[in-house]
Structure 1
Amino acid sequence: MSDDAIPLKTVHRAFEIIEILWEQTSATTSELAAQLDIPESTIYDYLQTLQSMEYVTRTKGEYRLSYKPLTIGGRVKYRSRLFRVAQRELQQVVTETGEVADINVEDSGQAVILHYERGEQALDLGMYPGMRTPLHTHASGKAILAHLPDSRVDEIIDSHGLESMTDQTVTSVETLKNELEHIREEGYAADWDQQVSGMGVIAAPILVNDDILGAVGIIAPSDRVQNESYQEQLQQRVREASSTISINYQYSQ
């Protein structure tokens, strides 16, 4: 978005500061001023305002985010009907498989982890609720893309591109769209080494009345996912999970 298209530049600048503090953990007034190319006195005013609203804290001359964004994010998550109906099913999946199970949703053209559970033999991937990843780089994202309108898929590609995360990431529009067609036909998505080398994902869309709510995925080491018999087990289990979540969603309040 260009500066001319921003209705309230002050609000935009405040969120730029919040995002920098999120990315860097902490920063001084001078460091923020240098990164944003604005006077320190202006940055100071922003920080004082954010501190008064309890979004940032100051320790030994450095500013960092407070826990207030966590409070807001946690509330958003627990208000989600999809989270409430999916949590128990994910727990059952990890009990049975020992792997990681998660729910991804689409937000502003990206995949966002709504919730995840870890089993006894699960990979430790540094995942967290709210983590954002490109939709085209893993099976859960592709399961979502496969059930979005074609115009929306094109819009996401135009806006975000097809960034390469590993040498296995799909970066061709034609190849991606062929994969999405296959996912619609088969009812699940599978890939490995496309977002993180050594990580494989089996995922299925969560559909209610043909509307895509998100995708449920099982994450495991690539070598386990590439084993045909094990992959078939995960395919069956992830489709069962998506069906259960979909039904529970429709009858929940």
Structure 2
Amino acid sequence: MEGGTERGNDGPNYVEATQKSIGVLRFLKEHGPATLSTIAEGTDSAKSTVYRHLRTLEDAGYLVETDDGYRIGQLFLDYGIEAQRSHPLYEAGKPKIDALAEKVGEKVWLVVEENGYAVYLYMQSGNELYRSFTRVGYRGHLHAFSAGKAILARMSKSEVNAILDRRGLPAYTEQTITDRDRLFAELDRIRQQGYALHLEEAVDGGNAISVPIQHEDGSPIGSVCVAGPAHRLNESYLRSELSDLLLGTKNEIELSMRYEA
């Protein structure tokens, strides 16, 4: 599940043509190669309007026209790699994530907050197989994932409320916290114990544990997450075994960012 409540589109700084191009790109990302007619129908736009946007985006290298229709161009791969590498947490966190994945044998993620979402910046997989809907570049609601809750727990109440007002509290599963008071109580517990869990809150059958990565002033930079199937990563194992390992990784990353910058 991606997306959420966006900013209003009727303000003085709103550019309708730009928003239309973004809508075309978002449709193709979510639905794969598509013809002009399919895109026009899917974006509720006139074919003539969509055609102009497609040609503009194609000429600039952001789209490619194939036998199956238009698709996202590989230029976005270049942008994506630059976006990943330019985040200050990436260089400091990557070797620590790799080492932790080898040690625990599970998927280990480096996650950051951007624009009110949890963004999955980097992943290394251990020996154990686990397929999930998350991927590098995935954006999810912060409240539904342990990685996001770990970040929220290190924000001020006003900052958390601003994100919830903007993005909401949608349910990913029946276990997702969708009540604001319950979420704040959960964030209090996370601050006290030093780590966050999600127990089938983001996906049925999947559990995870995360710890925040923080600046010297305590504000969050991101989080480290270990995720896997609930039968392997049960609550007892997450708390008794993985929490200390993640807290050690957290300390290493914070020291690297502080003294190797």
TM norm. shorter chain > 0.5:
yes
1:229 positional shift: 4.6
1:31 positional shift: 1.7
Mapped contact 1:104–1:115 kept (Cα < 8 A): yes
Q: What is residue 157 of structure 2 aligned with on the other side?
A: 150
**For the structure 1 residues 43 and 227, does the alpha-carbon distance in structure 2 shift closer, same or farther, using more than 3 Å as the test?**
closer
Candidates 222, 226, 231, aligned match of 2:239:
231
Tell me the number of residue pairs that the alignment of Structure 1 and Structure 2 aligns.
Answer: 253
Deviations 1:154-187 (A, max 9, x none): 0111111111111111111111100000111111
SS in 2 for 1:133: strand
Q: Which moved more, 1:58-67 or 1:209-218?
A: 58-67
Q: What is residue 161 of structure 1 aligned with on the other side?
A: 168
**For the structure 1 residues 2 and 158, does the alpha-carbon distance in structure 2 shift closer, same or farther, using more than 3 Å as the test?**
closer
In 1, distance between residues paired with 2:155 and 2:56? 40
1:111-130 pair list within 5 angstroms: 111-130=118-137
C-alpha RMSD of the superposition: 1.4
Give the number of the structure whose residues are more often helix, by fraction: 1
Structure 1 segments of 4+ aligned residues over 3 angstroms from their partners: none
Candidates 4, 10, 13, aligned match of 1:4:
10
Q: What is residue 4 of structure 2 aligned with on the other side?
A: none
Q: Which moved more, 1:51-60 or 1:229-238?
A: 229-238
SS in 2 for 1:163: coil
1:55 positional shift: 0.3
> Is residue 247 from structure 1 mapped to residue 236 from structure 2 by the alignment?
no
In 2, distance between residues paired with 1:63 and 1:230? 44
1:36-75 pair list within 5 angstroms: 36-60=43-67, 62-75=69-82
1:123 positional shift: 1.3
Q: What is residue 216 of structure 1 aligned with on the other side?
A: 224
In 2, distance between residues paired with 1:3 and 1:148? 27
TM-score (norm 1): 0.95
Deviations 1:128-158 (A, max 9, x none): 2110111111211100000112111001111
> Is residue 203 from structure 1 mapped to residue 210 from structure 2 by the alignment?
yes
Matching residue's letter, 2:222: G
Give the % identical residues. 28
1:234 positional shift: 0.3
Mapped contact 1:192–1:225 kept (Cα < 8 A): no
Q: Which runs of 5 or more structure 1 residues have no equivalent in the other structure?
A: none
